[in-house]
Structure 1
Amino acid sequence: MSVAELKERHLAATETVNALRERLKQRRLSLLDTDVASYARSQGRTPVTFGPTDLVCCRTLQGHTGKVYSLDWASEKNRIVSASQDGRLIVWNALTSQKTHAIKLPCAWVMTCAFSPTGQSVACGGLDSVCSIFNLNSPTDRDGNLPVSRTLSGHKGYVSSCQFVPDDDTHLITSSGDQTCVLWDITTGLRTSVFGGEFQSGHTSDVLSISINGSNSKLFVSGSCDGTARLWDTRVASRAVQTFHGHEGDVNAVKFFPDGNRFGTGSADGTCRLFDTRTGHQLQKYYQQHDDNDSDTPHVTSIAFSISGRLLFAGYMNGDCYVWDTLLAKVVLNLGSLQNSHEGRISCLGLSADGSALCTGSLDSNLKIWAFGGHRKVV
């Protein structure tokens, strides 16, 4: 068979696949006769309400001299690690605002950071295309710097996100601008599995975010500049389990719902969405109308769920931080409008393990801790 014939057959096959994909999309839309909010309203459900003291800024963590790009809570509620363009990781005591570690990084262009499950180590990655691991119990060198305990090298593009596998300090998953995700064995520094890349079921553009399923750590979801989110099983690295379409821009953030059966996304198209991993359906779209001009719609940069899943926290490029009622798709609070809010874009956010506090990071170089009053910590 000649090259020209092969190209012709490949083109015909691609057209067939695209046609089948469109038919599947239309079939799913025909079956999706309602969304979560419409059903909840039909059942007489009412939105969550917030009083003036239900969520307040109780602390501002000051110490970074550059834009804050990432943060993560330790499994216990009082420690936070943050990564900044000033080239440092800072580990904070969230109760006292004190810094317990200020780690000088090999590369200042850091994009992500994460605590290990035991809280003994932190990881970070960025434009140097590697993931660096620091053991917080290691002695500092003669200059007072904490040495890198392990360097994970292998990505061919920037490291956009990293997360330790729950209950396992020895394995970590990264996402990268090289269109892949990688599962690493930290003890050896080697790649255990690569997700995407040469496989056609992988992402076709930069992977920006990942979230590991808290109920089943073998599963994780990724979001990409190709506008899709994909579900992966670490036991089957060759292809994505499912691909989720719907967004019209980069998927900047993904986060599993507390029950592990659904996950949320935040996108450059200005929307957050809720998907079901069992059916592959989009369950809800969270969108606040801003302007007739779509170019003015602020991008979603980061998301998190409350411990019950009733609230969705979403940070935006314009400095807003909406608290959505996930059931009724209503904004019930905008942290950007409250006293002591950030003065710049919200770049990252995260909820403490017990659900009692939210931390937000911003390009204004500060982090803020928002405390829930009374019953709010269990929402």
Structure 2
Amino acid sequence: MSVPELKTRHAAATQTVNALREQLKQKRELLLDSDVATYATAQGKTPVSYGPTDLVCCRILQGHTGKVHSLDWTPERSRIVSASQDGRLIVWNALTSQKTHAIKLPCAWVMTCAFSPTGQSVACGGLDSVCSIFNLNSPAEKDGNLPVSRTLSGHKGYVSCCQYVPDEDTHLITGSGDQTCILWDITTGLRTSVFGGEFQSGHSADVLSVSISASSSRMFVSGSCDATARLWDTRVASRAVRTFYGHQGDVNAVKFFPDGNRFGTGSDDGTCRLFDIRTGHQLQVYYQPHGENDAPHVTSIAFSISGRLLFAGYTNGDCYIWDTLLAKVVLNLRNLHNSHEGRISCLGLSTDGSALCTGSWDTNLKIWAFGGHRRVI
């Protein structure tokens, strides 16, 4: 068969696939006769209300000299680790704002960081395509820096995200620009499973985010530049359990809902979405109307303990708190005193839900606490 004939057949096949996708999209829309907000409104649910003094910036963590890219809390909520374009990991005491560790990294272009469940180790990755593990209890080297205790090598592209398996310091999942996720055995430094890549059910573009279910640690979801999120079971690496469509841009952030049956996403299309892992249906879209072609991208998301609130950071400096039931904005941190002066690049909620930490391209991290009689829901 000649090359022109192959090209013709390929074009025809592509057209058929696109037509089938459109039919599938239309059938999904027919099934989605309602969303969470419509149902909640019909049930007479009242919106959550917070005033500008109910959430206050109680700590400003200053020390980075470059854009902050990633942060993570320890389970005991007293420490935060952050990664910055200045090539350093800093471990902070969230109660006093003091630095306990300032680790100079082998590769300055770091993109992600994570605390281990015990808080004894931190992991990071970036453009060097490896995930580096640091034991915070290790003695410092002569120059005062902390040595790398384990290097996880195997990705063929940058490491965009990492997360420890809950309740384990020995296993970690990474996502990469090579379109795969990897489950690692940190003890041996070896890959336990590879998700995607050569498998047809894997992502077709860079993986940007992962989230492991707290209720079932063998399940995790990934978000990608292919505008999809995919659910994986660590016991079956050969195929994704389910693929979730709906976004029109890169999926920059994914986060499991507290009950483990749903998860949220944040995308370059300016929307956050809520999906059900059991049905594969999209339950809700969270979107603030903007002028044409200028909707800010969503960079990071987190849920409150109950799931009633969704925290979302945006490239224009907005940080919305959404009422997940009624799809309404409760508060915008950008309008509060001591707000960030640049893009919100990362955010995370403490384990007990009492404080929110945001990181920004303005080089600072800020800890927000619910003041007075108000508590996060």
Q: Would you call these one fold, judging by a TM-score over 0.5?
A: yes
RMSD: 1.7
Partner of 1:354: 352
Mapped pair 1:248 → 2:248 = yes
The one-letter code sitting in structure 1 at the alignment partner of 2:285 is: K
How big is the shift at 1:52?
3.2
Instruction: Give me the whole-angstrom Cα distance separating, in 2, the residues matched to 1:46 and 1:269.
Output: 28
Partner of 2:317: 319
Give yes or no for contact 1:63–1:366 (8 Å, CA) kept in 2: yes
Q: How does 1:3-18 map to 2 (within 5 A)?
A: 17-18=17-18
Partner of 2:160: 160
Partner of 2:190: 190
Q: How does 1:1-379 map to 2 (within 5 A)?
A: 17-291=17-291, 293-294=292-293, 296-373=294-371, 376-379=374-377
Instruction: Give me the whole-angstrom Cα distance separating, in 1, the residues matched to 2:262 and 2:194.
Output: 24
How big is the shift at 1:15?
5.4
Instruction: Give me the whole-angstrom Cα distance separating, in 2, the residues matched to 1:184 and 1:6.
Output: 40
Instruction: Give me the whole-angstrom Cα distance separating, in 2, the residues matched to 1:160 and 1:60.
Output: 26
How big is the shift at 1:3?
9.2
Other structure's SS at 1:52 match: coil
Give yes or no for contact 1:71–1:113 (8 Å, CA) kept in 2: yes
Instruction: Give me the whole-angstrom Cα distance separating, in 2, the residues matched to 1:374 and 1:309.
Output: 21
The one-letter code sitting in structure 1 at the alignment partner of 2:167 is: D
Other structure's SS at 1:166 match: coil
How big is the shift at 1:53?
2.6
Structure 2: 5+ residue stretches without partners: none
User: C-alpha deviations, 1:93-150, integer Å up to 9, x for none?
Assistant: 0000000111110001000000000000000000000000000000001111100000
Instruction: Give me the whole-angstrom Cα distance separating, in 2, the residues matched to 1:170 and 1:49.
Output: 42
Give yes or no for contact 1:301–1:316 (8 Å, CA) kept in 2: yes
Other structure's SS at 1:377 match: coil
Other structure's SS at 2:375 match: helix
Instruction: Give me the whole-angstrom Cα distance separating, in 2, the residues matched to 1:104 and 1:152.
Output: 18
Instruction: Give me the whole-angstrom Cα distance separating, in 1, the residues matched to 2:5 and 2:173.
Output: 41
Percent same amino acid at aligned positions? 84
Aligned in 2, Cα 1:368/1:90: closer, same or farther, shift over 3 Å? same
User: C-alpha deviations, 1:78-106, integer Å up to 9, x for none?
Assistant: 10000011111000000000001111100
**TM-score of the superposition, structure 1-length normalised?**
0.96
How big is the shift at 1:290?
1.8
How big is the shift at 1:373?
2.6
Number of residue pairs the alignment of both structures matches: 377
Instruction: Give me the whole-angstrom Cα distance separating, in 2, the residues matched to 1:55 and 1:45.
Output: 23
Instruction: Give me the whole-angstrom Cα distance separating, in 1, the residues matched to 2:126 and 2:288.
Output: 31
The one-letter code sitting in structure 1 at the alignment partner of 2:220 is: F
How big is the shift at 1:327?
0.5
Instruction: Give me the whole-angstrom Cα distance separating, in 1, the residues matched to 2:144 and 2:262.
Output: 44
Give yes or no for contact 2:221–2:229 (8 Å, CA) kept in 1: yes
Instruction: Give me the whole-angstrom Cα distance separating, in 2, the residues matched to 1:93 and 1:247.
Output: 37
Give yes or no for contact 2:52–2:336 (8 Å, CA) kept in 1: no
Other structure's SS at 1:38 match: helix
Give yes or no for contact 1:357–1:377 (8 Å, CA) kept in 2: no
